[in-house]
Amino acid sequence: MAARLGHAIKAVLFQVHSIVGLVLALLLSLIALTGAIMSFEDEIVDHLNAGIMQVAPRQTPALMPDELVARLKAARDLGKVAAVTLSSDPSAAVHVRFARDDRGDRPISLYVDPYDARVLGSPRGEAFFATVRRLHRWLLIPGDGKGWGRPITGTIALGLIVMLVSGLVLRWPRRAGSVKMWLRPNLGLNGRGLHRSLHTVIGTWVLPIYLTMALTGPSFSFEWYKDGVTWLLARPQVTAAKMPAKPPRAAGRPEPAQPIGFDHAWTTFQREEGGRFSRALLTLPGGPGTVIRIRSWGKDMTLEATRDEFRIDAVTGQLVSAERYADKTFGEKIVAAIYDIHRGAILGWPGKLAFMMAAILMPLFAVTGILLYLSRRRLRRPAQKPLGRLVPGE
């Protein structure tokens, strides 16, 4: 009885695995390959733009952010500045990013001399990686993060979880303790046998990486999934105090008559952090608010997750909130590191390399899976009756 039940469950899982795999094979390969391209994006972009990211340090103090932006706009016809990245290194250039224009396009960013606002150049590779990122996250569907692409890629990640779990159950050998059964492909086979061996054994190699990617991916697509992870791992007060996307304007204060600047927030941030930071990203509010978000990384912090985050009123310079990485619990650090975990950066460059190689292998499973499906169809097709049997009287 138990054997028949187990066989029935495996039969259902086999159908689920096959159907989900056939539906998602090409999209999963596309998302995986674009993710592999972005694995070492930071290193590639830094190498390509080494000549415009550094300046000769000078004795004169660097310009304040608002003065730098004003000089930059006076020299060039530019769009609205959305964010600037400043550094404690006197030889580091300022990175200026711009808001989207009326058509929804974002102008390419600029590196600027912090001492005189001279434009050093636009980063090479930025437009290419921006397109790859939109393809990876939203499949280039109009609307980007606000369109249909975001929930579609999230659903694909959930589908990958179903495929991995069902594949593991179907893969489970009778001798589960045999390392050879789990990890050694039989390259002496050919045809259907070779396809099955490659599909199952190499799938076992990369299953932990794929499962990590699939479990972290929906956090970027579904708010309910992200909130659930936060509820599970963060302290209750942290979950309850989740910062709204657009901070509300303080009661009784009218909207500023002129566009807000960076200087007040930058001064408050420097007073709070002193010389502990290496670089800081100052982002203007996307809506009508006056609160600037500042993300900063310490001098020994290289991961995206290891950042402090401040929200400072740009008009008064008042510190609204301060979220320091060192104060987070272990679970909250995991929540903050979702992006680094998703791409393997949490393990340093070896982790990124392993995740990149696993992503490159995704088309192998699409191809072998489709070949196995087609071979099953051929085996199930009834053989054609001999023509002689169709002659009446015989």
Domain that holds residue 8: 2-41+134-218+351-376
Assess if residue 276 is contained within a domain: yes
Domain contains 293: yes
- pLDDT of 339 over the 80 cut: yes
Query: Minimal CA–CA distance to 85: which of 368, 229, 260, 280?
Result: 280
Question: Is the pLDDT assigned to residue 17 strictly greater than 60?
Answer: yes
pLDDT band at 52 (very low <50, low <70, confident <90, very high): very high
- Higher-confidence position of 387 and 270: 270
Record the pTM: 0.86
- For residue 34, what pLDDT band results from cuts at 50, 70 and 90? very high
Mean pLDDT of 377-390: 62
- The answer to whether residues 118 and 252 belong to one domain is no
Pair 176, 256 in one domain: no
Do 119 and 153 have their domain in common?
no
> Is 226 within the bounds of a domain?
no
State percent of the chain over pLDDT 90. Answer: 66
Pair 176, 316 in one domain: no
Picking from 151, 230, 213, the residue whose alpha carbon sits closest to that of residue 340 is: 213
Q: How far is CA 365 from the centre of its chain?
A: 22
pLDDT at 242: 60
Do 246 and 282 have their domain in common? yes
- Establish if 346 belongs to a structural domain: no
Residue 96: inside a domain, yes or no?
yes
Q: Are 32 and 140 within one domain?
A: yes
Cβ neighbours, 10 Å, residue 223: 8
| Count of structural domains, the chain | 3
**Three-state secondary structure string covering the chain:** CHHHHHHHHHHHHHHHHHHHHHHHHHHHHHHHHHHHHCCCHHHHHHHHCCCCCECCCCCCCCCCHHHHHHHHHHHCCCCCEEEEEEECCCCECEEEEECCCCCCCCCCCEEECCCCCCEEECCCCHHHHHHHHHHHHHCCCCCHHHCCHHHHHHHHHHHHHHHHHHHHHHHCCCCCCCHHHHHCCCCCCCCHHHHHHHHHHHHHHHHHHHHHHHHHHHHHCCHHHHHHHHHHHCCHHHHHCCCCCCCCCCCCCCCCCCCCCCHHHHHHHHHHHCCCEEEEEEECCCCCCCEEEEEEEECCCCCCCCEEEEEEECCCCCEEEEECHHHCCHHHHHHHCHHHHHCCHHHHHHHHHHHHHHHHCHHHHHHHHHHHHHHHHHHHCCCCCCHHHHCCCC
Query: What is the average per-residue pLDDT within 164-169?
Result: 92
CA end-to-end span of the chain, whole Å?
46
What amino acid is encoded at 40 in this protein?
F
Binned at pLDDT 50, 70 and 90, residue 250 comes out as very low
386 in a structural domain: no
Q: Which has the minimum average pLDDT: 69-73, 102-106, 261-265, 388-392? A: 388-392
pLDDT score at 394: 36
Is the domain of 141 the same as that of 259?
no
What is the per-residue pLDDT for 384?
56
Asked if 313 contacts 260 with a C-beta cutoff of 8 angstroms, the reply is: no
pLDDT at site 387? 52
Say which CATH number the domain at 280 has. Answer: 3.10.450
Mean pLDDT of the chain: 88
Q: Over 90: is that where the pLDDT of 96 sits?
A: yes
Return phi, psi of residue 330, to 5°.
-60, -45
**Mean pLDDT computed over 91-118:** 90
pLDDT tens digits, residue range 182-234?
Answer: 888 888 888 888 999 899 999 999 999 999 999 999 999 999 999 999 999 99
Q: Which of 92-106, 280-294, 337-351 has the highest mean pLDDT?
A: 337-351
> Could you tell me if 144 and 105 lie in one domain?
no
Residue 197: closest CA among 328, 393, 205, 24: 205
